[in-house]
Structure 1
């Protein structure tokens, strides 16, 4: 269950995800048109029809993802406390990840042109075994969290090494 104190992503994250899906859809459509023009034009035997059907099905994936954006947004949250970072995703297919502060090795922020336009960043948290990501959080929040996590990880390591 997602705790009530969990922080939700900014509403502009939905717009960013939609833009990414539209770009992916346009790219797939252009690739499909090129494949059709080069290989399938006027050659509609069974193999060509199967390839065309598969290409159309692949192009529906970004459309399906677009319809699920409100679901992704509603159930994607995070919490940072004294012991760990908790990342929650999903309601039907729930996934909760906890990252102990003393295991954090690296904290990075990433920002492409679309995220930059909406003043958002992706925050990546690395441990020795896994990488975790909190997507599309505000620039100011991401920078503050990065500093807070680095300080907390250093403090947690100092406390652990004193034992």
Structure 2
């Protein structure tokens, strides 16, 4: 059974180990999600502690996919913007553990995040993802519009260069 939940600060801290496992699995699987190898679990825990604070302050929406009562995937929406962009949110770090891929968790997470962001007054979401990655292929299927590619924008966890593709979606 799968359930999507939004977590605040305390709930995020309660799920710290599960969230860290998903992030670690994705980084070790080669996902370009801001972290480099070697990647230690303490680095993952530190990251999620910061997200817990942001979720507690309302700056970030944090959705998790619970599959068999454990965190199997997650996505965030950055809700805090500058005063000239109150309508925009940043979709960040759609992560699904490799053992849970193919279950439709990405779609469920994206739909929930978009809905919650719209309820929070957002009308436009933007995201970026590694060019040529499996993630890049799913966003158009979810109704996102590809804007373009910036070559060598980031690095993969192994240190090799990674192009980045930018997308947007109007949600209200």
User: Which category describes the TM-score, using the shorter chain as reference length?
Assistant: 0.3 to 0.5
- TM-score of the superposition, structure 2-length normalised? 0.32
Structure with a larger share of its residues in helix: 1
- TM-score of the superposition, structure 1-length normalised? 0.33
Structure with a larger share of its residues in strand: 2
Mark the structure with the bigger radius of gyration: 1
